[in-house]
Amino acid sequence: MRDMEQKGDLRRKTRSVVNAPLELGWTDRQGNEQLVRATVVDVSEHGIRVLMPEKLALQTYVTLRADKLGLHGRASVRNCLKQGNKYVTGLEFSGGLKWKPRE
């Protein structure tokens, strides 16, 4: 049994803990392009959790780039929770983007 299942996590795919830089871009409500640097907390086949300096609204679509993980594509915000002076943001990949660990 996976560790996540033992803790009550109902996710279909196991998360891998990663510490890697990530760039996120999106268009805000005023139509302005935004770009921030974030840190990857963990990643699974279908999504990624990042620590970032700004709050994002649910269902916001972002473009992400994490060269260290071989990820470049689109995702949507599924949750965004304040943690200290930053935000832990859960993103679900879209447009067929998937992550696979490098062998």
4 inside domain: no
Average pLDDT score, the chain: 87
87 inside domain: yes
29 inside domain: yes
Whether pLDDT at 30 is above 70? yes
Q: What percent of the chain has pLDDT over 90?
A: 76
Question: What would the pLDDT profile of 47-88 be if each residue is shown by its tens digit?
Answer: 999 999 999 999 999 999 999 999 999 999 999 999 999 999
Q: What CATH number did the domain enclosing 46 receive?
A: 2.40.10.220
Whether pLDDT at 20 is above 70? yes
| Distance of alpha carbon 23 from alpha carbon 40, whole angstroms | 10
| Distance of alpha carbon 15 from alpha carbon 7, whole angstroms | 13
Q: In total, how many domains does the chain have?
A: 1
pTM of the model: 0.84
Domain that holds residue 66: 13-94
